[in-house]
Amino acid sequence: MNWIGMKRERGKAFNLNRIPDLCARRGHESGDVLSKMKTITKSFLCLWLFIFPVILVGSMISFPVPVSAEDVESEPSVSITPGYGPVGTEVVVKIKNFTPKTGVTICAGDKNVLVDKLITDSIGGGTISFTVRPRQAGWYQIWANDGVIEEWAVFTIEPRIEISDTSGYVGDELTMTGDGFPPLRKVTAYFDGKTVGGNTSDENGTLADIIFNVPPSCRGKHTIRMEGGKDCNGETNFTTRQKFSMSPQTGIVGSEVEIAGSGFKGAAYIIVYFDDVDLTGIPTDEFGSFSASFNIPKAGNGIHKVKADDGENRYYENFTVGANLSCRPMEVYIGQKITTEGTGFCAGIPVNISIDKSPIDVATATNQGVFTFVCTVPKLRHGDHVIAANDGTNIKEVNFAVESNPPAAPELTYPPSAARLSQNARFAWNQVDDLSGVAYMLEIASDAEFSKIIFSDTDIISNEYTLTKDQENLIAISKRPYYWRVRAVDGASNVGQWSKVSLFMWGPTVSTIMKHMPMWAVYVLVGFLLLLICCFFFFLGRRINSSYRDEYYESDYSNDSELYSDSI
């Protein structure tokens, strides 16, 4: 918009001395006018009563005198483009018909506030530009002065506000500034009519930073307005965009994820998708915000898309699924079945399974990166152990524990205490039960404190033990006793308590000899014994018979003696 100096226009309106010249240019000389007026006197007198009031009013009102375009073009002038705007606007100043080849000062707001200088060309023209400095709203004069000619134009300063971002998300921090406001005026900032902050303008009408966070709002444009009083208001637009956040953004299959969104359609229904799999539906409030939680479904290792869609607006975030390994039960005994499950592994890739770095078997992950492997717990020491799964990209481990409960102490059943043993001596005790299975340890010593152990044996599977020839040779034939004890050790190397100590004597007896004799020797010995018994009874019978006979002969002799004596 071009503005011609108001002062010059007013001057032209009252420059009566130039009327004859102007009329001359139109072929109306003053003499001709008077002569013609004589010829039309009568008509003039008739119109006088009508024209007189008009002339009377015209003498009170300023009417611009028509001038030709050539006359206007020859006059000094100042024009500006644009004619209005906020502080910071770049204004182009163009001057015409000033003194040729002369320096011209350009001032703004006041004749003493210099903004630039220029030198006119050969026809008195020139162009410069400058930026409007901070100043309160209102009319703003732009002066041009070459020392002889002085002209001015008007620039209207309008209030202006600026925000650090014109679009963003709920919760974003915005910084708002403004200028062109009345000086030292309290200015309040509004977001869709809701107060979000305020500050006081300085003496130039400039407003310092107003910092606020974007309040809950639906998707679309919203009005940010600054009000500093009547006719001193500025506004701009801010576009709220939809968004949601997840916590955490990485995890394993089955983990819970919190999701919160804003900037969606108000009072709508959000569908949350995981790789286009519908997980859950969530209603939004009137400002397009929502919050909920969901669990990660079965999925392969890597990045997956989570989408929230209200039918008109949608937003995506990435979620990284990591590999995970679990097993059940977490505490096992030897020989028990243990199930290992992996999730988040590479789809369709073989997975090597190992226990304590010893390979066990190979499983294959499904298209969803899942596998299940069942195996029998091998013989391991009690305590913690590690199952590992390796698909070449992911290596995951999980700990499990082998039970640590020792088996009970055995009770000795044979031989009885203080018994005498010899060849093929047998020892026995009661069976001890343990989930991990048991083996037994036997010790024989020459003292009750077992400080002088003759021999010991481990990994005895049965609950009885027979001495070998070599072991028997270690036991000397002696009248002193020997001591023995037993304890159980389970498959997890849990060692139980020793049994009570029992003693035995070593050396052959009739029973032990008979027990270890061959059958034919037994039969011979039995026959011999029977023969001895028969002979014994035979000789015993003969002895008895001989004794009876001797008594009979002795009795007869006695009787005969008495008869002989009587006869004498």
Instruction: Tell me the three-class secondary structure of 282-324, residue by residue.
Output: EECCCCCCEEEEEECCCCCCEEEEEEEECCCCEEEEEEEECCE
- d(Cα 551, Cα 307) in Å, to the nearest integer? 133
pLDDT at 501: 96
pLDDT value for 555? 62
pLDDT, one tens digit per residue, over 263-290 is 999 999 999 999 989 999 999 999 999 9
Listed in sequence order, the DSSP H helices in 178-226 are: none
Task: Round to whole Å and give the CA distance between 482 and 418.
Answer: 9
φ, ψ for residue 191, nearest 5 deg = -120, 110
Cβ neighbours for 195, distance < 8 A, ≥ 6 positions apart? 188, 189
Token duo for residue 182: 């009345």
Would you say residue 521 lies in a domain?
no
User: How many CB atoms neighbour CB 44 within 10 A?
Assistant: 12
Cα–Cα distance, 546 to 561 (Å, whole number) = 22
CA-based torsion, 64, 69, 74, 79: positive or negative: positive
Please indicate, yes or no, whether residues 300 and 395 belong to a single structural domain of this protein: no
pLDDT value, residue 127: 94
Q: The tokens 């394993």 sit on which residue?
A: 252
The arithmetic mean of pLDDT across residues 310-318, rounded, is 95
DSSP 83: S
- CA 512 – CA 426 distance, rounded (Å): 12
Structural domains counted in the chain: 7
The model's confidence at residue 185, banded by pLDDT at 50, 70 and 90, is: confident
Residues 426, 504 within the same domain: yes
To 10 degrees, the CA torsion angle through 329, 331, 337, 340? Answer: 50
Q: In terms of domains, do 511 and 437 share one?
A: yes
Q: Same domain for 396 and 418?
A: no
pLDDT at 60: 46
Please give the Cα distance from 345 to 369 (Å, whole number): 5
What's the mean pLDDT in 137-154?
90
Tell me: do 251 and 307 sit in the same domain.
yes
Question: 207, 240, 273 — which closes off a domain?
Answer: 240
Q: What are phi and psi of 467, to 5 degrees?
A: -65, 140
335 in any annotated domain: yes
**Following CA atoms 204, 210, 215, 218 in sequence, which dihedral angle do they give, to the nearest 10 degrees?**
40
- Pair 15, 64: CB distance under 8 Å: no
What would you measure as the largest C-alpha separation in the chain, in angstroms? 254
Tokens of 498: 């020793």
**Rounded Cα distance, 51 and 69, in Å:** 29
Domain contains 451: yes
Residues 6+ apart with CB under 8 A from 66: 22
Whole-number pLDDT of residue 342 = 95
Q: Which is more confidently placed, 429 or 472? A: 429
Range of the domain at 299: 243-321
| pLDDT score recorded for residue 231 | 66
Mark whether 290 and 333 lie in a shared domain: no
Q: Exposed, middle or buried, 340 (CB in 10 Å: 0-12/13-18/19+)?
A: buried
Residue 515: what pLDDT? 62
**Residue 565 is assigned to a structural domain of this protein:** no
Name the least confident of 125-134, 342-351, 520-529, 533-542. 520-529
**What is the percent of the chain where pLDDT is above 90?**
59
Do 185 and 267 lie in a common domain? no
Average pLDDT over residues 165-177: 94
Q: In this predicted model, which residue has the larger pLDDT, 144 or 16?
A: 144
Give a yes or no: residue 407 inside a domain: no
Inter-residue contact 190 to 225 (CB < 8 Å): yes
Residue type present at position 152: W
Average pLDDT of the chain, as a whole number: 84
Q: What is the CATH number of the domain that holds 119?
A: 2.60.40.10
> What does each C-alpha distance from 99 to 80, 102, 103 come to in angstroms?
19, 6, 9
Q: Are 376 and 306 in contact (CB under 8 A)?
A: no
Grade residue 19 by pLDDT with cuts at 50, 70 and 90.
very low
- Which is more confidently placed, 329 or 180? 329
Cα separation, 170 vs 463, whole angstroms = 77
Mean pLDDT of the region 475-482: 76
Helices (H) and strands (E) in the chain, counts: 8, 40
Q: Give pLDDT tens digits for 83-121.
A: 988 888 899 999 999 999 999 999 988 888 888 999 999
- The CATH number given to whatever domain includes residue 388 is 2.60.40.1930
Tell me, yes or no, whether 458 and 469 share the same domain: yes
Give the three-class secondary structure for 503: strand
Would the pLDDT of 33 be above 50?
no
Question: What percent of the chain has a predicted confidence (pLDDT) above 70?
Answer: 81
Of 330-339, 400-409, 462-471, 526-535, the range with the lowest mean pLDDT is 526-535
Domain stop point among 122, 137, 157 = 157
**Distance between CA 232 and CA 236 in Å, rounded?**
14
Residues 68 and 18 sit within 8 Å (Cβ to Cβ): no
More confident residue, 160 or 211: 211
Integer Cα distance of 372 and 339 in angstroms: 7
Rounded to an integer, what distance in angstroms lies between the CA atom of residue 18 and that of residue 11? 11
Question: For residue 51, what pLDDT is reported?
Answer: 58
pLDDT, average across residues 511-526: 70
Please compute the mean of the pLDDT values over residues 363-389 and round it to a whole number: 95
Residues 480 and 434 in one domain: yes
Domain assignment present for residue 437? The answer is yes
Per-residue confidence (pLDDT) for residue 78, from 0 to 100 = 93
**pLDDT at residue number 388:** 97
Which residue has better confidence, 31 or 365? Answer: 365
101, amino acid identity: K
Instruction: Write down the pLDDT at residue 477.
Output: 65
Residues 372 and 446 reside in one and the same domain: no
- pLDDT tens-digit profile of 148-164? 999 999 998 888 888 99
Task: Report yes or no on 376 lying in a domain.
Answer: yes
Of the residues 402, 429, 455, the one at which a domain ends: 402
59-90, pLDDT tens digit by residue? Answer: 444 444 454 545 556 799 999 999 988 888 89
167 shares its domain with 230: yes
- Please check whether residues 489 and 425 belong to one and the same domain: yes
How far is residue 484's CA from residue 500's CA, in Å, rounded to a whole number?
9
pLDDT of res. 82 = 93
Q: Is residue 440 part of a domain?
A: yes
Yes or no: say if 363 and 354 are a contact pair by the CB < 8 Å rule: no
List the beta bridge partners of residue 419.
504
Residue 386, pLDDT above cutoff 90 = yes
Are 328 and 319 contacting, i.e. CB atoms less than 8 angstroms apart? no
